[in-house]
Amino acid sequence: MCGKPISVDDPDEPGWIPVCDLSRLKAETIVRVAGRDLLVIWNEGDVVACERACPHEQADLGLGHVAEKRLFCPRHAASFDLRDGAITAGWPGPPLRLYPIRITGEQIWIEVPERRSVR
C-alpha cells in the first residue's frame, strides 16, 4: 500500500506538482508525496489527493486504508468520504482537506497552494 515516497519538482508548472503515474497508484492504492504532507489515493476508479495528517489528531493517513470510497484512519478508525472529505458522523474535527488533481497521459498532478512542511 505505502511504497517509498516519490520526489516532486517541476518549476515549469507553478502550483501543480507531478506525483506519480496511474499504474503505480493502481498498484499501491495510497502513495505518499515526498516533501509534502499529501497523499494521492486510488478510489474505486477515481484519483483523489488529500492532506496526509488526520484532521482528528494528526495520525498518518498514509498508514490507513481505503474501502467503500472512504479513507480510514489507522489510529482511531474514523473515516473520511473521499468525495468531499467529510469525517464519520459524530466524530469531532474538520473534514479532510482535498486537493485538485489532473491527469495528463499516465501522469497524475496535484495542485497545491503553497509549500508545506517536509516529512
Residues that bind ligand FES (CB under 6 A): 54, 56-57, 59, 73, 75-76, 78
CB of 54 to ligand FES, least distance (A): 3
- Closest separation between CB of residue 72 and ligand FES, Å? 9
| Nearer to ligand FES among residue 70 and residue 75 (C-beta) | 75
Closer residue to ligand FES, CB minimum distance, 57 or 106: 57
CB-based contact 108:19 (threshold 8 Å): yes
Residue with Cβ nearer ligand FES (25 or 71): 71
How far apart are CB 68 and ligand FES at their closest, in Å? Answer: 17
Of the two residues 59 and 101, which places its CB atom closer to ligand FES in the complex?
59
> Shortest Cβ distance from residue 103 to ligand FES (Å)?
28
3-class secondary structure per residue, the chain: CCCCCECCCCCCCCCEEEEEEHHHHHHHCEEEECCCCEEEEEECCEEEEEECECCCCCCEHHHCEEECCEEECCCCCCEEECCCCCECCCCCCCCCCEECEEEECCEEEEECCCCCCCC
